[in-house]
Amino acid sequence: MNLPPHQVQLTDDGRLKHFLTTEGLSKALLTEILDTADSFISTQERAVKKVPLLRGKTVVNLFFENSTRTRSTFELAAKRLSADILNLDISKSATSKGETLMDTLWNLEAMYSDMFVVRHSDSGAAHFIAEHVTPNVAIINAGDGRHAHPTQAMLDMLTIRRHKNSIAGKVVAIVGDILHSRVARSQIHALRTLGAAEVRVIGPGTLLPTDIEAIGAKPFYRMEDGLKDCDVVIMLRLQKERMQNALLPSEGEFFKLYGLTEQKLALAKPDAIVMHPGPINRGVEIESAVADGNQSLILNQVGYGIAVRMAVMAMAMSGQQQSAIESEEV
């Protein structure tokens, strides 16, 4: 039976054993992730940054899609939890020579791996692996197609909470290519669960999903309308590699209408914060004066990403271990 991702990722008593999506997770569980990440931030300021929570465990970075920032922060997170790391170069792996995904997974399982961090261009890939992997192996979704990027969403939630004290009651605008963005979907689900007053999505009609209101976001087609009185402005990268057709007249035209400038940012609240999941396309989504300005938290997000990924990995492994104990008792 194919279960929804939010059910696959939980133990019978509601603890995290995989992390596939923010959709369907409770406020209490999302808050636990943020609280755990907060506790790890202080460890990153110490001379010795490692903690022994995953000592003796093997974490495999299974990236079928390129990513420097996400992969490196997951690797750092695993190392700071004292895990052993295997980075699998998919372009040189057996899958590029005709071996099936399941054969690759079974070979990795035979090496007594404990966790797979999966990034894949197909939506639902992490869910598929979680359903078919051997018990006691945790799956962390590092981005799948247009579907979800839950750790990015949670590091964004941590950024908002640490700099605005709370997510509850805040008006958040997400700007740009919503249609192709797995980050935006994960952000919207997390923001609604954590009590944001309003989630706005801003972009041209060609880059806004037709069903966006069904998942709790309000569409705006003009920056002047959508940015008014916002507490948080999240800019998104144009997902040019996922665009099937010419959905934009030009990057210059996009920047003119939807790029974040100091003038447009002035429409938001004076203490509004600016975020971007990266990598930044300066002069396309955001001008340098804003990206490097006092309201920008873009570099803070990178640091928080390590703490969030440490939290998720530690919680998922703990959930897997508890499930194994309960199974043995039965």
Q: Is 152 annotated as a binding residue?
A: yes
Nearest to 232 by CA among 279, 180, 190: 190
CA separation for the pair 15, 278 (Å, rounded): 30
Q: Is 70 annotated as a binding residue?
A: yes
Longest dimension (CA), the chain: 63
Q: Is 69 annotated as a binding residue?
A: yes
Q: Is 15 annotated as a binding residue?
A: no
Q: Is 73 annotated as a binding residue?
A: no
Joined tokens for residue 117:
């961090």
Q: Is 6 annotated as a binding residue?
A: no
23: Cα separation from own chain's centroid: 12
Specify the residue for token string 């690797």: 75
Instruction: Identify the three-state secondary structure at position 60.
Output: strand
Give me the half-sphere count of Cα atoms (radius 13 Å) on the Cβ side of residue 61: 24
Q: Is 97 annotated as a binding residue?
A: yes
Nearest to 66 by CA among 121, 25, 10, 107: 121
Cβ proximity of 94 and 103 under 8 Å: yes
Cβ proximity of 318 and 291 under 8 Å: no
Q: Is 4 annotated as a binding residue?
A: no
Bind-site residues for carbamoyl phosphate = 69-70, 119, 149, 152, 278-279
Bind-site residues = 69-70, 97, 119, 149, 152, 182, 237, 278-279
Bind-site residues for L-aspartate = 97, 182, 237
